[in-house]
Structure 1
Amino acid sequence: MDKKILDFTENDFIENWNTSVSSSTDCTMPSAPKKRHHRAKKNNMNDEPPAKKSAPSIQLDAGFKWNLQALAKAAESVETGGKSPVSALNELGVRVSYCVLRQGGPAHCPSFTVAVTVADMTFEGWGHSKRDARASAARTCLSALLARAGRVLPNPGPQPDFTSDEAPKYPVSEFQCIETKIQPPDGNGNKATPPPGLFGPAVSPVLKSPINMLYETYPGITFHCSFGDGSPLDTAQAPVTLSHSMRFKVVCQIKYQKFEGYGSSKKLAKLAAARAALGEMCEKTMSHARPVSSDGLPQLLADHVAKLVNEKFNEMMRGDLVHSKRKVLAGIVMTIDNKLEGAKVIAVTTGTKCVSGEHMSVRGRVVNDCHAELRVTKILMKIVNGSNARARARVSLLARGQLRTKIESGEGTIPVKNCINVIQTWDGVLQGERLLTMSCSDKAARWCVAGVQGALLARLLRPVYLRALVLGSLLHRHHMYRAICGRIEGCISALPPPYRLHRPLLARAASTEARTPARAPSFSVCWSITSPYPEIINATTGKLENGHPSLLCKQSMFARWQYLVRRLPLLPQDPAGPYLPPLPQDMDHLLYDEAKNLCSTYQVAKRCLTDAFEQAQLGRWIKKPIEQDQFHCEILGADPALLFA
């Protein structure tokens, strides 16, 4: 350390110090200490090396000096975000001590006051956590020292929340976090205004909340709050069967119209009700209010779909607190001609796990993927109704990214490019290799090309596409569109008729899903309109909790297909499409894999999809071991009432 910089060690001798505590704005600096050792002067001037230039310093009260270069370096590291104020202060080479002065506030919003002592100077900082308060105190100390040098440490701006559903309320340059660009002078020779610093305050227009906009536009509106099931708030005991995201309900009434909103708190429920009202009442698009979608899906319809799915889940799980826990909820609502009247929930599922590799079945008796978004389409394959009905899926998850695979016995996905074995083998999985399953966003992209009916029903039905996707949270329209169809629309071609690249309508419910920071349960709840009670599937084993196969396993699907194909006419041969082979005479010895290949048109469409992914350099589609589909139908002569339950 430079000799001219004050070094506070145990052997330092300090005198004439001002022991008064200084504030964060005006401080009295200590006097310079007397040096105990002096550098010996050499008698021979020729042998003396050239003298070093002293580092620039700032002169404080009582003759105290501080290394300006070290302070400037610390300020620069804090301003650019390279270091925290605490780290920058510690690296100045002085003794620093922190202590908590006060602690208060409610449990959900605590407040802390921390004092930092540097060279008998004390500065205070405040924050909602001890860490934030400590950083605030360190920043105050650095600001006070820099103020004596004529410099100002910029105040920190709000940190961006990348998990928020709201759009940013201030413009952020895409190069702002990389460097500060110098603007060229304009035609008059005047320099343009430089962009604000990273920690500088951003100039933003005043945005009003949906609630304030409603009060200004409709002064006579009223809000009525209750629990999610409609019971008043003064009830002796709050209902415990409600999901976290529907704990409170707020009804916004504008004249004779009522709009409902749900949330995990009264504030969120009131905000959701205001968004729903604005989405119906306002004509102009305002991004911060989530109004009518630009792609044509009415916000009122999106909110109604989300409400029906949530209410159905709460209804069927009433009294079952164990299985009412969930991370992802998905459902399919059937509407006719975009009318709210007559909208019917036909499937509701939960789940976020995949089967373990050691529980794979060569007889088609397990459910491989228990993710809610995928189980709900399997249920739809059981109960597909009239051709004039339009299905709408509602999920509370965002699809994203390149081709990805799910992690066995874990959560999250990894890119396909990081996978070593693109072709999975039965022996390899049993010997310890991870069983890979394509992500939900990749399978949703397959729905937009090949439909949700699957390969078996493709001989009986034309492609079934979802009319709209309504998300409960984390909806970024551009990211969602790219995930399900945008990333392949420039590469996919030669689709056989009647297959096409379908672009579903996208919307987000006004009552957003609450974030649940807990580990996902290892079960999946699956309910269909044809069953009075839901199935509880163990996601690890792929079977019911009692060990029996599920009605959604491949063996059950194969049995239902054989029952239908023997009684219903097949689709006619399309002259412009590939050749459709006839059904074999001996259906009892038909393999599941052979039955899927009977619809060559579907297989060609799916091959066009995988080729488009490879052409776009997004990775290759990873399939399950082929042994999983090499089985015969074991359910013969079953009662149709039980088979289609």
Structure 2
Amino acid sequence: MANCKTAVSILQEHCARQGMTPIYNTISQEGLSHQPKFTINCTAGQTVGTGEGVSKKSAKQAAAEAVLQQWEVEIPKLDSVKAETVDPPNPVGQLQELVTFLGWRRPEYDEIEETGPPHDRSFVIGVTVGKFKEQGTDKSKRLAKRTAAKAMLEKIKALPPDTDPGIEPGTTKSKKKQAADAPAAKATGCSLQFAVGQNIDRLRNNPLNFPDAQSCQILQLIAVEQNFATRYIDLPEPGPNNQYQCLVELQTSPLAVCHGTGQRLDSAHATAARNALYYIKMMAQKPPDALIDIKDEFEPPSHKNPVQMLNEMTVTPLDFSMVDKSGPPHEPVYVMSIQLDGQIFTAEGKKKKEAKEAIARKALLTVFGIKSPDNDGLLYARTRPTPSVLYSTWSAQKALICANLIQNLIEAKLREVTLNDGQHRYLKYKVLAGIVQSDGEAVESLKVVCLATGTKCPLAEEPHTKGTIIHDCHAEVIARRCLKRYLMEQLLEYQKNPRSSVFDGGISGILQLKEGIRFHLYISCPPCGDASSFIKEERNMGHNDVHPGRGARGILRAKIKQGESTIPLTGKATAAPERLFTMTCSDKVASWNVLGIQGALLSHLIAPVYLSSVVLGMQYHPDHLPRALYGRLTDLPDLPRGYKLNKPLMVGTSRPSQCPFGASPVAKAPNFSINWIIDLDNIEVIKTDKGLKEDGSSSRVSQEKLFSTYMVIMNKFPSSKGQTTGGSIKQSPQRGSSSKKDKQGKGNVSKEKPQQNFKVGNTYREVKEKAEAYQECKKILKATFLSEGLGRWLERPKECDNFSIVPDQ
């Protein structure tokens, strides 16, 4: 007999036997209207289970299953066909998402015809997107609408990438002539970067000190001048404090969406418009190197106090000290001071907070040329900011502008590579990471070399010994793997044409990056582990760590299998090793700041490569991030020559990361990870539950493929004896360095070829262990963590690396 019992009915039976009733409560409802997500709690006695689903019914079933699993009750599989089928994706929602990210008008549906007898009706629904029209026929209006949307989806996907939705199919009239015939038509997809015009110049060169009520009007003036369309979208869900929420869509290139809230709908529109103007102001900035007579390069948000603004302008945490306290108990006077940029600033106030804000105002004006919010709430930059010594080439304001540009480049590249491949469903992400390359100080040289998404680790019961599975699918880890593949491709390019490669000759055959080449890591949110474990609320991001001395600060942590949580690696944490899998991203990035991002294999051929900056899309904290990424390792002993403790510039962008398709930092993470590498074909999709591609093959950034590419490279680096088998450069773990260039892994150019000291057939682990200087540095890193009481570095089983590759001859 077929089983027809669901988890809800099974739970109801068990509760009835124990004389209790399960209670279901709806916790939250998120997502878009056509793609909702419900979270429901089920309480049965002392047991609580939580479930999520696209409907309340499916979420209720998931919550009941969670309770039954805790009771260790077996849930039989449903034998009915309905239980085995999976609902197909809704074409109405897919069409809505596609046209939104293409910057086209929203689809419009019309009922065209209704025929047939009452018991067998037939409906015809038409859908219009711009000048394109399609129809769908079915037995209900809902199904007919889906049929029409599906037909329109197929039509749009078959169109050329540069199709204008405002042109009739088959029309041969040029776009210029159409523009002349219809001057009022709005062109979509215009770029705001370095835009010119009277209104946008006025916005660029002046602070946003006008009333909120004028924001919508000013935005419309700029939209008309720059020839792009705007659209306000009122969200049905209430925002914080039960306020109205609104989105304003700017049909620019890339497409931009800005958010606003308010006590009234018109004030929500005004807030969204002001945020849009701030975005346009940032995007329209001229290259920083060309800013000579322009005031107000960057307009800080008016809601930030001076201490927050100063924290964001500096790399190291602010250290205020109380110099004196005087006056009677009921009216004290505090004198505070701080040393910044080689200067000491002092101020007094009736409260410590007032004194700190007064100091911050002086420092902002003196060091950075910014006048902070006064009693009237206005702020502006009086002159071109004084170059900061906190970074060798960028001023603080230029760093912030470049951070915003890096964020925009990464997000635009994600949209480009997914939409060009017709795979817009992979735009969903919880964490996005990417690496941007720069050449010198010109912002025009910035280019995205790789990007990745992902937040999960695959569940592996036994160690994998072939190197095909990726054990960590977090975005920043995959992005680093992509960069290693990019560097390998650049080594192959070096053999063909050294001028077009990023590498140049170095010491004893070790190549080095060309002068001016830098890499910048972007992450849409703080890396998991120590950098994010103590961040509770985003509104507190600008304040110092109120408990910097707590023992939990800086502790090594490990990721939990198949989860997005971490667990400290101290005390009794390692008593349950089955829960532990790999080190957190905070710990891994910290190791990259010592070992370099090139890895052990490439250290045979190139000098250590370090990140120049780390850019966060949201939740940047001036204490937690520097501590996690290098502050824990300030007491490192002498390292082998060429290695150092790297302290990259850390910057938070001026707006949160744009999460498409309703994904957000609190949404459930997708079960896939994508990666893209410049000059390689298309995006690659990895299933995070397996660590393999969708077809079951290994990823191009897996250990197996990276090792195989490395062996190909070594065949192209013949030794002085003319051998062509894979090999390694003999590295000396000599400590210390004799020059500044040596500390950076650079030195005099040498044409000496790599000397090989191992044979074909060596395992992946053996090749890595022959990088003596790298392994010596790695031992020092782990010993430092252990000696500082921060925990023991988690080691993977040795058999995971015991595989070999036979290179093609």
Structure-1-length-normalised TM-score: 0.56
Q: 1:138 matched to which residue of 2?
A: none
SS at match of 1:346: strand
Matched, 1:233 2:230: yes
Match of 2:521 in 1: 393
* Cα displacement (A) at 1:610: 0.9
Letter in 1 for 2:557: R
What residue is the counterpart of 1:320 in the other structure? Answer: 423
Distance in structure 1 (CA, Å) of the matches to 2:773 and 2:227? 50
1:408–1:436: 8 Å Cα contact kept in structure 2?
yes
How far apart are the structure 1 equivalents of 2:611 and 2:442? 16
1:181-196 to structure 2, matched below 5 A, reads none
1:310 aligned residue (408, 411, 424): 411
Contact 1:359 1:541 in 2 (8 A): no
Separation (CA, whole Å) in 2 of partners of 1:521 and 1:613: 33
The one-letter amino acid of 1:301's match is C
1:586 aligns with 2:580: no
Could you list the per-position Cα deviations for residues 94-120 of structure 1 after superposition, in whole angstroms to 9, with x for gaps in the alignment? xxxxxxxxxxxxx9xxxxxxxxxxxxx
Alignment partner for residue 603 of structure 2, among 433, 458, 462?
A: 458
CA distance in 1, matches of 2:574, 2:298: 54
Specify which of 687, 709, 720 is matched with residue 560 of structure 1: 709
Following superposition, the deviation at residue 270 of structure 1 comes to 4.0
Matched residue, 2:564: 411
Q: CA deviation at 1:299?
A: 1.5
Structure of higher RCO (CA pairs closer than 8 Å, 6+ residues apart): 1
Structure 1's 435 and 530: CA in aligned 2 closer, same or farther, altered over 3 A? farther
Q: CA deviation at 1:487?
A: 1.4
Alpha carbons of structure 1 residues 446 and 329: separation in structure 2 relative to 1, 3 Å: same
Note if contact 1:351-1:370 (Cα within 8 Å) is conserved in structure 2: yes
Match of 1:280, SS state, is coil
* Partner residue in 2 for 1:632: 804
In 2, Cα distance between equivalents of 1:423 and 1:500: 35
Q: Which residue of 2 aligns with 1:169?
A: none
Paired amino acid for 2:519: A
Separation (CA, whole Å) in 2 of partners of 1:246 and 1:567: 54
* Amino acid across the alignment from 2:468: R
- Calculate percent identity across the aligned residue pairs: 29
Return the alpha-carbon distance in structure 2 between the equivalents of residues 602 and 394 of structure 1: 25
Quick one: distance in 1 between partners of 2:766 and 2:466? 14
> Residue 678 of structure 2 corresponds to which residue in structure 1?
529
Deviations 1:374-407 (A, max 9, x none): 1111111111233131111111121424211111
Contact 1:458 1:599 in 2 (8 A): yes
The counterpart of 1:493, out of the listed 637, 643, 650, is 637
Amino acid at match of 1:442: D
Report the residue type matching 2:734 in the other structure: A
1:234, CA displacement in angstroms?
A: 5.0
1:437 to partner: Cα distance: 0.8
Q: Does the Cα contact within 8 Å between 1:260 and 1:273 map onto a contact in 2?
A: no
SS in 2 for 1:375: helix
Unaligned ranges ≥5, structure 2: 1-32, 34-203, 236-245, 261-271, 286-294, 316-389, 488-501, 504-512, 532-553, 659-663, 720-727, 737-753
1:501/1:590 CA distance change after superposition, 3 Å: same
SS at match of 1:347: strand
For 1:334, which of 421, 432, 437 is the aligned residue?
Answer: 437
CA drift at 1:316: 1.2
One-letter amino acid of the counterpart of residue 408, structure 1: K
Aligned residues of 1:262 and 1:270 also touching (Cα < 8 A) = no
**Aligned partners of 1:311, 1:363: CA distance in 2, in Å?**
36
Flag the structure with larger Rg.
1
Separation of aligned partners in 1, 2:798 and 2:425: 36
Residue in structure 1 matched with residue 401 of structure 2 by the alignment:
300
**Helix, strand or coil: the match of 1:383?**
helix
Higher-helix-fraction structure? 2
Q: 2:776 aligns with which of 589, 600, 604?
A: 604
> Taking structure 2 as the reference length, what is the TM-score of the superposition?
0.45
* Residue in 2 that maps onto 1:509: 653
Of residues 550, 559, 580 in structure 1, which corresponds to 2:699? 550
Most deviating of 368-377 and 262-271: 262-271
Distance change >3 Å, CA 340–CA 211, structure 1 → 2: closer
Q: In structure 2, what is the Cα distance between the partners aligned to 1:373 and 1:259?
A: 23
Q: Residues 471 and 420 from structure 1, CA distance in 2 versus in 1: closer, same or farther, beyond 3 angstroms?
A: closer
Name the count of aligned residue pairs: 402
- Unaligned stretches of 5+ residues in structure 1: 1-106, 108-209, 239-244, 252-257, 425-432, 639-645
1:368 to 463, 466, 471: 471
- C-alpha distance in structure 1 between counterparts of 2:418 and 2:641, whole Å: 42
Q: How does 1:210-229 map to 2 (within 5 A)?
A: 213-215=207-209, 222-223=218-219
C-alpha displacement at 1:607, in angstroms? 1.1
- Kept in 2: contact 1:403–1:619 (CA 8 A): yes
Amino acid at match of 1:280: E
RMSD (Å) for aligned C-alpha atoms: 4.0
Query: Aligned to 1:503, what secondary structure does the other structure show?
Result: coil
What aligned pairs does 1:88-107 form with structure 2 within 5 A after superposition? none
